[in-house]
Structure 1
Amino acid sequence: MAWRCWRDLLYSCLVWSVHGIVPKPQNVRVHSITFNSTLHWDPITFHKEDVTYTVQYKRHSGEFTDLCTRIASSECSISSIPLHGNYTVRVRTESEKEQSNWKSITFTPTDTVIGPPEVHVEPRPRALYVEVRGPSFQQNGNSWQIQNIYSNVVYSVLIWKKDHDEQMNIVNINYDSEKLTNLDPWTTYCIQVRAFLPESNKTGEWSIMSCIATTDNGTSSMPLTVSLLSGLIAFFLCCWMSLCVYQQVKYVFYPSYSLPQHFKEFLSKPFHSSQSLALQGEDYSHEKITVVSEISKNRVDESEEHMNNAKQQLQNVKEITEAKKVSDFPLRYAVRSECYNAEHSEGI
């Protein structure tokens, strides 16, 4: 085949050099995947002038119809040709003043490679749900699927455990969806799908590999992990908020400051002791105590202050005695002590 191409190319060069005729395109071929067809050829490289190309087609003995006219590229889309039937497609080289002979090939639109389908896989408990969308193509501005052309399309599903390529299984399904059951729970499976046309005994290309894990309770492993993490975050957030509320309540109802120690001791003692109850009926009265002393003029102020302190202490003893009704023995002892101190000071 390569030798023929080179031979035709050499022949074209000789013809051009001898007769001045523009060489026709070489290696004309069709590339077609799922009825998306394109005509290709090798461009002319040795011509000094700019060249263009024109592509036409016809069915049987009909007239030729233009597909591409005076294009600079070396390819032309021929997907607009009706799908059913056999056609003749031709292409020629053109310059400003001359044009080459036509190069023709036979084209059958159904002789196309079936492309890979679109596959969507969802996890199920110990199963996988596979949904297949057949290969699609565009024609005359409309979108079609191979089901619109072939009445019988079978999909072959290749399934295997990830990292276990030796355990591959093929399942044929006649519909666009299928549930693959009897699988291991929490196990990652990989899936590829291709179309098969029994009418023409044609097999399509495999789809992109899809890997997904099965479940045991109807939820996939990823949502379960996300749910657990969300629960932990919510738990710690609640604990933190509860701690903040507790600290605020404690600050309001149980302030950090406390009563002085002598207040605590006073409140901790009972208001009526056994000794006060025994002497409850007795009336305690005290005579006014007057302290007279002769002191020098330079100590008058000090003596007056000392007398005032003694009177205040006597008054405090009297108030404590009336409030708690305690025994008068300590009180008399205190009064006598004050009197003794006063007399002693006077003597000095």
Structure 2
Amino acid sequence: MSLVRIACLLLWYLQTVVVGEELAQPQDVTLITMNTNYTLSWDWPQRSADSPAVTFTTQYVGKYQLRNWKKSPNWSTVCNESPLKSCDLTAVGLHYLAMYVLRVRANTKERHSVWVHKEFCPDKDAALGPPVKVNLALDESNIEISISEPVTSANTPMRNIVPTLRYNVIYWERSADTQTKMLTTDTSLVYLPNLKAWTWYCVSIQSRYDFYNKSSILTPPQCIQTEGNILWWQIFLYFLASLAICFLVVLLSVFMSFWCYRIIKATFFPSDQLPQHLKKYLCSSPGSDVPGLLTPDQECELLCKSVSISAIPTVLEIFSPPPEALPTTSLEPNSRQSHEKSSTSRDSGVFSREGSTSVQQSSSSQFYRGAKDFGWSPFDLEQVSMQSMAPGLKCQPLNADEGIVDMCV
């Protein structure tokens, strides 16, 4: 035996001298697990010369195979020369109640490190996950909790592989300085009895495996308010509150209606009234403020007045031309006398006034004689004089026999 050992040591020394320094091995080999999801992770000291070309190989074998000295174990490779510093073992399908040995080493093109071993028993070492979902419901003053069990990587319930799975139900009142209470159950439907009415309660649940004393993390808290019978003073209080709200709504409606009425009245029916002397002309009936439309006949009656036209101012405005400007015609004495008589009779009714002198009469008679020679009548001369005095007047033809006529102004 001593010779054999010496030979082995000699061979190892020669291998060390020829190959050189061994490659650094992976460090801090750990397992990241949740239910049946397993990932082997490690660290490796990086070196500037070796790190770009370093790869890692991961293998596993059942622990029972290592106990058989007569037969070498059959290692199964999961990740072969992978550049990653982790290896996912979930797809391998490791049995939950079996025990395995995992190993990993670093590789280069020419060298490799020694293997780093890690024992793994999923039933003992794998972490337990919390319930997938928690639902809260009310049953009067009780709370009904529905728990969805944690699932495996194949989306099957964990209870299939862990029959003794249980749950810790932790609940408390949602108020300051309240103590938590815990209820342990192995069913997925839980009732929380003897709770206060109209009180908020929060619930959080974790999975539990008593054989290896494993428990999951707590689920996020969920809160719900319990119900109960309404007390008489609460009913009375609600009635008073509703009555006050209705009163305020009615009062506000009345105020808004009155405000709108005042605005409409001030806009369409102002307080300033028409004068009385305009109402009798513009309004449809006496005592009414509603204006009425006027017909053309009514407009003429309202806008026309009895106007007295006197020819005396007209005579003052007429300019008498000199005798040489008038044409000389030979008239018979009889016709001239008749014309003078007719003109004198007309002048006495239209052109005469108190205090007029004989010079004015003679000048007017001479003017009319000259106008007659040109074919003008006394009425035409009066009409032209009035139009020249007031060109804006609208009047009807004057009657030579009448001294007073109606005129629209």
TM-score in terms of structure 1 length: 0.55
User: Does 1:86 find its partner at 2:99?
Assistant: yes
Partner SS state of residue 144, structure 1: coil
CA contact (8 A) 1:189 1:213 kept: yes
The amino acid that maps onto 1:188 is: W
- In the alignment, is residue 26 of structure 1 matched against residue 27 of structure 2? yes
Unaligned runs of at least 5 residues, structure 1? 1-14, 219-231, 248-255, 257-263, 267-295, 299-348
Question: Which structure has the higher relative contact order (CA within 8 Å, separation 6+)?
Answer: 1
- Please state if 1:55 is matched with 2:66: no
**Residue 121 of structure 2 aligns with which residue?**
108
Shift of 1:21: 2.0
- The alpha-carbon distance between structure 1 residues 165 and 55, as it changes in their structure 2 partners (threshold 3 A), is farther
Following the alignment from structure 1 to structure 2, what is the Cα–Cα distance between the partners of residues 67 and 168?
46
| Cα contact 1:24–1:100 (8 A) shared by 2 | yes
- The 2-side partners of 1:204 and 1:179 are apart by 21
Distance in 2 of aligned mates of 1:215 and 1:175? 25
The one-letter code matched in structure 1 to 2:22 is I
| Corresponding position: 1:121 with 2:121 | no
Deviations 1:226-269 (A, max 9, x none): xxxxxx9xxx8xx99xx99xx9xxxxxxxx9xxxxxxx999xxx
Distance 1:173 1:164, change over 3 A: farther
Query: Residue in 2 aligned with 1:188?
Result: 200
Q: Give the deviation of 1:173 after TM superposition.
A: 2.1
Q: Return the match for 1:96 from 109, 118, 123.
A: 109
Report the secondary structure of 2:90's partner residue: coil
Please give the alpha-carbon distance, in whole angstroms, between the structure 2 residues aligned to 1:162 and 1:129. Answer: 17
CA contact (8 A) 1:52 1:71 kept: yes
CA contact (8 A) 1:89 1:104 kept: yes
1:178 and 2:190 matched: yes
Cα distance in 2 for partners of 1:166, 1:187 equals 13
2:169/2:204 contact within 8 Å kept: yes
Query: What corresponds to 2:149 in structure 1?
Result: 134
| Mapped partners of 1:47, 1:136: distance in 2 | 44
- Aligned match for 1:152, one of 164, 184, 191: 164
Q: CA deviation at 1:75?
A: 1.2
Distance 1:217 1:90 in 2: 65
Residue 110 of structure 1 aligns to a residue whose secondary structure is helix
Please tell me the residue identity of whatever aligns with 2:79.
Answer: C
Structure with bigger strand share is 1
Q: Tell me if the contact between 1:116 and 1:206 (Cα under 8 Å) persists in the aligned partners.
A: yes
Tell me the amino acid that sits aligned with residue 197 of structure 1: Y
What SS class does the counterpart of residue 119 from structure 2 fall into? strand
Separation in 2, partners of 1:155, 1:214: 23
Percent of aligned positions that are identical = 23
Structure 2, gaps ≥5 residues long: 1-15, 66-72, 231-244, 261-268, 270-284, 288-309, 313-409
Return the alpha-carbon distance in structure 1 between the equivalents of residues 82 and 138 of structure 2: 51
What is the Cα deviation at residue 31 of structure 1? Answer: 2.0
Q: Deviations over 1:154-176 (max 9, x none)?
A: 21111111124543211122211
Is the Cα–Cα contact under 8 Å of residues 35 and 110 in structure 1 kept in the other structure?
A: no
Q: Contact 1:119–1:130 (CA<8 Å) still a contact in 2?
A: yes
Q: Structure 1, residues 315-346: CA drift from partner, whole Å, max 9, x if none?
A: xxxxxxxxxxxxxxxxxxxxxxxxxxxxxxxx
Q: How does 1:1-348 map to 2 (within 5 A)?
A: 19-46=20-47, 48-49=49-50, 50=52, 51-59=54-62, 60-61=64-65, 62-80=73-91, 81-84=93-96, 85-111=98-124, 112-117=126-131, 118-138=133-153, 142-216=154-228
Instruction: Tell me the distance in 2 between the aligned counterparts of 1:42 and 1:192.
Output: 36
SS in 2 for 1:184: coil
C-alpha RMSD of the superposition: 4.4
How far did residue 97 of structure 1 move? 2.2
Structure 1 segments of 4+ aligned residues over 6 angstroms from their partners: none
Q: Quick one: distance in 1 between partners of 2:115 and 2:137?
A: 54
By how many angstroms is 1:182 displaced? 1.8
Q: Distance in 2 between matches of 1:30 and 1:217?
A: 54
Distance of aligned partners of 1:19 and 1:297 in 2 relative to their CA distance in 1, 3 Å threshold? closer
Distance in structure 2 (CA, Å) of the matches to 1:82 and 1:217: 55
Report the CA distance between 1:190 and its aligned residue.
1.3
Kindly name which structure, 1 or 2, has the bigger radius of gyration based on alpha carbons: 2
May I ask how many residue pairs the two structures share in their alignment? 238
Structure 1 position 88, deviation (Å): 0.9
Distance 1:63 1:71 in 2: 21
* Superposition TM-score, scaled by structure 2 size: 0.48
